A = this chain, B = another copy of it.
Amino acid sequence: MFENVISIKDFGKDDIEFILREAENMEPVASGERPSSVLTGKILGMMFYEPSTRTRLSFETAMKRLGGSVVGFADTGATSAAKGESLTDTAMMLAGYSDAIVIRHNLEGAARYISDIVDVPVINAGDGAGQHPTQTLLDLYTMKRFFGKIESLNVALVGDLKYGRTVHSLAYALAVFGVKMSFVSPPELRMPDSVIHDLEGSGVEVTETERLDDVIDDVDVLYVTRIQKERFPDPEEYSRIRGAYHIDRDMVAGRDLIVMHPLPRIDEISPEVDSLPQAMYFRQAFYGVPVRMALLKMLIRERSDSPE
């Protein structure tokens, strides 16, 4: 069906729906309820040039729950990369030891570059300002799983919409489903015009606002992202803005919506929200496991089933 997972833009609506259905079948294995030996004897190679907890551990969990194993590195300290080995050489080596590669790299395009070189499937786990397609798939899965379908939703993306690769990819994917979107951010962190232009070109309805209050009565999903201190030269301006986009219990309790966040959060969402039924971010993190299991199974098993 597909050989690599590099950018969410490579996937059509049918592809995405197929992956989400497969992920749902995986849930009993993902939760440890049902053992699986689908990938017994198979090895996932991990190349993490940037630190990651959630993405890395959920890929590891996905592989191990399927009976497979993992080799590779979580940072570059104890590796040949520290001796000056090229990305190409490291990838060629790891491809020799594994049945698929997951790569996180600080440079945009690194994953696609590697996928052109090695003869095993490659999954992009985040390449700098570029793509993070498995995050987008688990975000979509979370919405699908809760609401039953994605098409008719009304989704607000909140916070830093300028720098976050997560919200850009998610916006493109939601557009494929015709989802109505609101972009809620301070002026300094607006969704880039190029993204808005693309989305409008694809026929979806998008609105922009600085105020959460403008949209909160209408949305099904509040997708909250981190606003990084480093974006603001003036600490007071940062404090003011952080406060304006902070999600607390009063804002959410009793409303017919879910709160999502790619995590880690710092203080965008008050901990008192965690116990509300609207809080979906920990469940969302767990959903990374069945989604990544579906991808690993498709990429690795289908490949080994096909004639040499």
Contact residues of A with B, CB < 8 Å?
A: 29, 32-36, 40-43, 48, 51-54, 57-58, 60-61, 64-65, 67, 69, 71-75, 77-86, 88-90, 92-94, 96-99, 263-266, 271, 274, 282-283, 285-286, 289, 304
Q: Are A53 and B69 in contact (CB under 8 A)?
A: no
Q: Are A289 and B89 in contact (CB under 8 A)?
A: no
Q: Which of B29, B53, B96 contacts A93 (CB 8 A)?
A: B53
- Closest-CB distance, A87 to chain B (whole angstroms): 11
Q: Are A93 and B285 in contact (CB under 8 A)?
A: yes
Q: Beyond A84-B266, A85-B264, A88-B274: 17 further Cβ-contacts under 8 Å?
A: A29-B41, A32-B41, A32-B99, A35-B41, A43-B61, A43-B65, A51-B80, A53-B78, A53-B93, A57-B93, A60-B71, A61-B71, A85-B266, A93-B285, A96-B285, A96-B289, A97-B289
Please, how many angstroms separate the alpha-carbon atoms of A265 and B182 in the complex? 51
Please, how many angstroms separate the alpha-carbon atoms of A96 and B263 in the complex? 13
A287: nearest chain-B partner, CB-CB: B96
- Closest-CB distance, A26 to chain B (whole angstroms): 13
Q: Are A304 and B32 in contact (CB under 8 A)?
A: yes
* Chain B residues whose C-beta falls within 8 Å of the C-beta of A32 in the assembled complex: 41-43, 98-99, 304
* Chain B residues whose C-beta falls within 8 Å of the C-beta of A78 in the assembled complex: 48, 51-53, 74-75
A67: nearest chain-B partner, CB-CB: B41
User: With A75-B78, A80-B264, A89-B265 in contact, is A97–B282 under 8 Å at CB?
Assistant: no
29 A-B interface contacts by CB (under 8 A): A32-B43, A32-B98, A35-B40, A41-B65, A43-B64, A51-B82, A52-B80, A53-B79, A53-B80, A57-B94, A57-B97, A60-B71, A64-B69, A65-B69, A74-B78, A75-B77, A77-B77, A83-B264, A85-B263, A86-B271, A88-B274, A89-B263, A89-B264, A92-B282, A93-B282, A96-B285, A96-B286, A97-B286, A97-B289
User: With A35-B40, A67-B41, A80-B264 in contact, is A97–B53 under 8 Å at CB?
Assistant: no
